[in-house]
Structure 1
Amino acid sequence: MENALIETIYGNLKGLKTSQTKQLKRLYQQRLPQDCLTTPEFAQRLAAISTEIQENICAYVNRRGQVMRVGVGTPRETQIPLLELPRYGAERLCGIRCIATNLKSESPHTASLTAMAMQRLDALVVINLTGSGFERRGGGATGYVKETYYAHLIPQSDRPDRNDSEPIYWQLSPPLSLDVLTQQNFLDLVEGLEEEFRREYIALDVDADRDRVAIIGLQTQKMSDRAFADGIAELERLVDTAGGEVLQVLSQKRTQPHPQTVVGAGKVEDIALAAQTMGANLVVFDRDLSPAQTRNLERQIGVRVVDRTEVILDIFAQRAQSRAGKLQVELAQLEYMLPRLTGRGLAMSRLGGGIGTRGPGETKLETERRTIQQRLTRLQKEVNELQAHRSRLRQKRQDKDVPSVAIVGYTNAGKSTLLNAMTNAEVYAEDRLFATLDPTTRRLAVNHPETGKPFNLLLTDTVGFIHELPPALVNAFRATLEEVTEADALLHLVDLSHPAWENQIRSVMKILSEMPSTPGPILLVFNKLDRVESHALERAKEEHPQALFIAASDRIGLETLRQKLVQLVQWNG
């Protein structure tokens, strides 16, 4: 069984005779010296078979000199699937070279060179043939071979600085005779290249604990340039918050997403090439991917592919501290992953570490679909119990006739900072997306603006919103989001220093409008006044004359806000 697998011939076998197939299989028995790109004998044998079957053929050889793959077709048509190649990263080559014949007697195509770069091959050797074989001149080192080329990847520092064209990842030799080619020292070549790759990799100060990420954005006709740029910038922040390092952002404009790969075939190839040459171990798309799209992309790119929702879920998994928060995050992750098990195997082996793979609690991510469904049922029951418990707590507060205000807003608008500034709550606050997940309620004592008597209300910090909040999170966090719908009034906090604050307002209002019950009156409050330029402040005041403007971190405008909150809840009552 093992020998049959080893002697598999890949590529286009249509029309081959049994004897020709046997000749191709015998190539697996060849052994090349470790320090040679190829030998004259092996090159001539490839050339003879290729001339006889009138097809290009490729032999893939490891550094021990063993032929490990034989294919009929060009290097692009016979390349090794990227998921089957060893993943060493940008500091190593894959340890395999390709020796290919070319019937057309021309310089190597860009497609073949691109295939070499995508696989991070040690080298690509192209043997141009004389054509029919009758032009041979005495056999030996000439024989069927007209001329040869060899190509290899080059370190980034050696790449030509060509701003007007695509980056050049490789170096191609001039036409060489077979004798000259076989005298090249192969081991010196690859060891020298890997030393340069390793030196560049170390110079990047790469953190082994951080995912190396390529972000992919698709701009459709319905999306403005500004909205697209804002979405990509937000995704970069999400990746950073999740613990990833963004190496590059690639984008494409299409009328609509490709049904199989989101972006076009050429762009998928560009992504694969960029991922291999940069050493990226994760590709993140700026939109939700179907299970089929994820499978297709991973197969063609050769690294793990996740979408925006998986990044957000991963952040929630890291941020959840309380039992309730972990419970809701686990529920959201399993609800999201369950329909995506098909094609990944029931073992869910890809969930082993890194962005999009973490989860709190005791979830065994290797369990079968049935077990996961049972776990989902239990989690739903616990969330329902949590929902009922919080409902009882809210009822007790209402019985005491203490009005409540929920702070809502886009993630990182400063909600926790505001709660701390107004109530000394000491809630964890950080300049990161989704810094806090668990709702925190504190009593706020203020003086009545008319009577001067002490007046109490409850202020609740809620989970941050985001554009296109994943439905799995909305469902799982319904117990938390009820703090919003049951509040007597809402304080909608906006980060005025963010360039897309207008879109963030619309996103929050859209989420609020989709909640099962209508929230109370909403007070619009612009935060981070200390970081805003004058023209942005004037525009906000012009568009929202009834809004308040504060700087929670510097406690600017908080007294006015207190008085306004009293008026808001009294008017609502």
Structure 2
Amino acid sequence: MARDLARLSFECGRQVAVLLSRDGVIEMVVVGGPGSIYLPDLPKSRAGRSRLRGLRLVHTHLKEEPLSQDDLMDLIFLRLDCIAAIRVDSNGGARHLEVAHILPGARQQEPAWQLLPLMPCHQPELDFLALVSGLEDQLERGQAATAAAQKGERAILVSVTEGDRESAEISLRELEELARSAGITVAESVIQRQRQANPKYLIGKGKLGEIIVTALQHGVDLLIFDQELNPSQVRSLTDTTEVRVIDRTQLILDIFAQRARSREGKIQVEMAQLKYLLPRLGVKDDALSRLRGGIGVRGPGETKLEINRRRIKERIGSLERQLKALRKDRFQRRARRRQRQVPILSIVGYTNAGKSTLLNTLTH
């Protein structure tokens, strides 16, 4: 196959790629440009977001150049079993094969992939199935260890800042407390300082690649960004990582939804969630679906990914009318208390400061 791909690529002057299943079946053929190749959207992973995709990409390099940064990002973002480049010589022959795979044990600041030594195309010294089996065993062991130590939903906290690192760390610690209040286990925290945010992902592509590998290692369900995300960024991040993505605002709304007890409180939370959701109706991701439940998806919403704007607005209008009636009733009760000179006490404090504990102690 390497010789055929090299010859075809040499004759047309373009990179040629094939996506192969683990059984060696060709799933897709892609023809790119002289120096790069564009891969179309691939189907979801064969066994969910906790496994590799079950596909390997083999493509040609016409100038005998090594695997590019774009190649390695495709490896990470698409969670391929591996990516291989056939180096085509000046006569159209297949000379060397370069292979890279995801590195499950990679730490922050380290490459999330491993490059294997160059090997001859005619006799590659690589047991592909054994390699992939070993990689998935490593991933499963890491996920099992994390699951045993941490219960409930697991999240990676992400902060992208143009300011100093100390301020970002303080804000991220606060976000971690909020996550714990919502019953989330924090698997990892990531801070990236950059002069200008990536308009597509907010975070840089290289750092996002590291996050994807970390999510694979720890069986992460959720990414929580400290900064507010626009609908386009949520969609891009969700499509790329295949995990739910929310920001600080949505996390806080979820905490309110968990803890609202009074009728008025529940109405206020539902209305806030709907108003937050309304401009994000076009975002087709699991974070807006109530089918699965979990952090960032409690409260109002439809069971479909695309929610009718008119129905949302009608619901908001109905809630506003209910809230107005409740406020009128509350105003009347407050007026009666003032007439009777009933004292009013307030307990004010931050999240997890112990307000409810104090109130329960005083009233029971």
TM-score by length of 2: 0.86
Q: Please give the per-residue CA displacement for 1:327-379, whole angstroms capped at 9, x wherever unaligned.
A: 2221221111012113439x95476422110116xx54435221121111111
- Tell me the distance in 1 between the aligned counterparts of 2:359 and 2:69: 59
Q: Which residue of 2 aligns with 1:172?
A: 115
Is the 2:112–2:209 contact (alpha carbons within 8 Å) kept by the matching residues of 1?
Answer: no
The equivalent residue for 1:204 is: 146
Quick check: 1:232 aligned with 2:172?
yes
**Corresponding position of 1:149:** 98
Residue 354 of structure 2: aligned partner:
414
Is the alpha carbon distance of 1:118 and 1:225 closer, same or farther for their aligned partners in structure 2, counting shifts above 3 Å? closer
SS for the counterpart of 1:104 is coil
Pick the aligned partner of 1:101 from 60, 67, 75: 60
The equivalent of 2:298 in structure 1 is: 358
Distance in structure 2 (CA, Å) of the matches to 1:325 and 1:76: 55
Tell me the distance in 2 between the aligned counterparts of 1:245 and 1:76: 40
Deviation at 1:107, TM superposition (A): 3.4
Distance of 1:420 and 1:212 partners within structure 2: 31
The answer to whether the aligner puts 1:45 opposite 2:33 as a matched pair is: no
Q: CA deviation at 1:235?
A: 0.7
1:113-159 deviation digits (Å, cap 9, x = unpaired): 342233222222221111232xxxxxxxxxx1111133333442xx6
Amino acid at match of 2:11: E
Shift of 1:56: 1.9
Q: Which segment drifts farther, 57-66 or 330-339?
A: 57-66
Q: What is the rounded CA distance, in whole Å, between the counterparts of 2:243 and 2:302 in structure 1?
A: 23
CA deviations 1:169-215 (Å, max 9, x no partner) are: 4333322222322x643333322332332223212235897333121
CA distance in 2 between partners of 1:225 and 1:116 (Å): 30
Residue in 2 that maps onto 1:189: 131
Higher relative contact order (CA 8 A, sep 6+): 2
SS of equivalent residue, structure 1 residue 380: helix
The reply to whether residue 68 of structure 1 matches residue 43 of structure 2 is no
Pair 153,227 (structure 1): closer, same or farther in 2 beyond 3 Å: closer
Distance 1:357 1:351, change over 3 A: farther
State the secondary structure of the residue aligned to 1:246: strand
Is it true that 1:127 corresponds to 2:76 in the alignment? no
Distance, in Å, in 2 between the alignment partners of 1:207 and 1:358 is 25
Q: Secondary structure at the match of 2:310?
A: helix
Aligned residues: 360
The 2-side partners of 1:256 and 1:108 are apart by 27
Identity of aligned residues (%): 37
For the pair 1:394 / 2:345, whether they are aligned, the reply is no
Matching residue's letter, 2:203: V
Note if 1:306 corresponds to 2:306.
Answer: no
Match of 1:337 in 2: 277
Pick aligned residue for 1:78 from 6, 16, 38? 38
What whole-Å deviation, never above 9, does each CA across 1:5-28 have from its counterpart, x for those lacking one?
Answer: xxxxxxxxxxxxxxxxxxxxxxxx
Distance 1:204 1:274, change over 3 A: closer
What per-residue deviation string (whole Å, max 9, x for no partner) do you get for residues 475-501 of structure 1?
Answer: xxxxxxxxxxxxxxxxxxxxxxxxxxx
Unpaired runs of at least 5, structure 1: 1-41, 134-143, 427-573
Q: Could you tell me how far apart the structure 2 residues matched to 1:253 and 1:50 are?
A: 41
> Which one has a bigger Cα radius of gyration?
1
**Structure 1 residues 102, 233: closer, same or farther in 2, change over 3 A?**
same
- Provide the alpha-carbon RMSD of the alignment: 3.1
SS of the residue 1:410 aligns to = coil
Tell me, in whole angstroms, the C-alpha distance in 1 between the residues paired with 2:119 and 2:206. 31
User: 1:72 deviation in Å?
Assistant: 3.0
**Inter-CA distance 206–78: structure 2 relative to 1 (3 Å threshold):** farther
2:109 and 2:101 mapped to 1: Cα distance?
17
CA separation of 1:184 and 1:308: change in aligned 2, threshold 3 A = same
Give the Cα–Cα distance (whole angstroms) in 2 for the partners of residues 233 and 418 of structure 1. Answer: 25
Instruction: Decide whether aligned partners of structure 1 residues 86 and 358 sit closer, same or farther in structure 2, where only a CA change above 3 A counts.
Output: farther
Q: 1:190 to 1:266 in 2, by over 3 A?
A: closer
- Do structure 1's residue 385 and structure 2's residue 325 form an aligned pair? yes
User: SS of the residue aligned with 2:363?
Assistant: coil
- Whether the 8 Å CA contact 1:81–1:300 is kept in 2: the answer is no
Note if contact 1:288-1:309 (Cα within 8 Å) is conserved in structure 2.
yes
**Does the CA contact (< 8 Å) of 1:313 and 1:332 recur in 2?**
yes
Aligned to 1:250: 190
In structure 2, do the counterparts of structure 1 residues 308 and 87 end up closer, same or farther at CA, with 3 Å as the change threshold? farther
**1:368 to 1:348, Cα distance in 2 relative to 1, 3 A:** farther
Alpha carbons of structure 1 residues 323 and 216: separation in structure 2 relative to 1, 3 Å: same
Residues in 2 aligned to 1:171 and 1:287: alpha-carbon distance in whole angstroms = 32
Note the C-alpha offset of 1:420: 3.7
Q: Which moved more, 1:198-207 or 1:95-104?
A: 198-207
Runs of 4+ in 1 over 6 A off after TM superposition: none
Amino acid at match of 1:176: M
Q: Is the 8 A contact 1:120 1:276 kept in 2?
A: no
- Is the CA contact (8 Å cut-off) linking 1:82 and 1:302 kept in structure 2? no
Any idea what the Cα deviations from partners look like across 1:510-530, whole Å, max 9, x if unmatched? xxxxxxxxxxxxxxxxxxxxx
1:357-412 deviations in whole A, cap 9, x for unaligned? 0116xx54435221121111111111111111221221111110123232223222
Gaps of 5+ in 2: none
Residues 76 and 115, structure 1, Cα contact 8 Å, conserved in 2: no
CA contact 1:291–1:342 (8 Å) conserved in 2 = yes
Map of 1:54 onto structure 2: 13
Instruction: Check 1:80–1:192 CA distance in 2 against 1; reply closer, same or farther (3 A cut).
Output: farther
1:324 counterpart = 2:264: yes
Separation of aligned partners in 2, 1:167 and 1:261: 20
